[in-house]
Structure 1
Amino acid sequence: MNATRAEEVALLALGWLVSNDDLLPVFQGASGVSADDLRAGAQDPAFLASVLDFLLMDDAWVIAVCDHLVVPYETLYQVRQMLPGGDLPNWT
């Protein structure tokens, strides 16, 4: 996993989130982002990291995204580690 691939996968995860009519309003309510913010954030690695932080809060969301992207379940966590703020230690 490198930074370029991480951003690509994170962007795909954002696309999945935007297409999810049930979960997108939850993300927008929790983060306060608008549709314009979503479009602008697609180019910002820190914003993409926040999307992954949100998705990583629930195993069911991780499974759904990874199944959609056809990637192993640990991929979202690996991607998150490559984006800004992802170098924090994992204490779990």
Structure 2
Amino acid sequence: MTFESAQEIAVEALLQLTRDPEQIGRFLAVSGLGPESIREAAEEPGFLAGVLEFYMADEAMLLTYCENAGLRPTMIAAARFALVGDPSDYG
């Protein structure tokens, strides 16, 4: 998967979150962001990977998103990897 394809998947996932007040509220709470700072945060490296990690942490939400987006769940993990690589590389 290319970096650009991964970005597209992550941006679409973020847009999906913004359409659901409960889910975006959870995302903001988990990330520590306020609604006013989401645009600025979206420009930071790793932010879009964090969006995908948020989905990956909730299987029901992940599966629902993937079904609606026409993606296999493994594509979310592949996109996350394409954006930032393997987490074990940082440990």
Scaled by the length of structure 2, the TM-score of the pair is 0.84
Which residues of structure 2 form unaligned runs of 5+?
Answer: none
For structure 1, which runs of at least 5 residues remain unmatched after alignment?
none
Q: Could you say which structure has the higher helix fraction? A: 2
Aligned residues: 88
Listed as ranges, the matches of 1:68-87 within 5 Å are: 68-84=68-84, 86-87=85-86
Which 4+ runs in 1 deviate beyond 4 A?
Answer: none
**Pair 1:34 & 2:34 matched:** yes
Q: Distance in 2 between matches of 1:14 and 1:81?
A: 17
Within 5 Å, which residues of 2 pair with 1:2-41?
2-41=2-41
Deviation string 1:47-76 (CA, Å, 9 cap, x unpaired) is 111111111101111111111211112111
Residue type of the partner of 2:72?
A: P
TM-score normalized by the length of structure 1: 0.84
Distance in 2 of aligned mates of 1:78 and 1:42: 19
- Cα RMSD between the aligned structures? 1.5
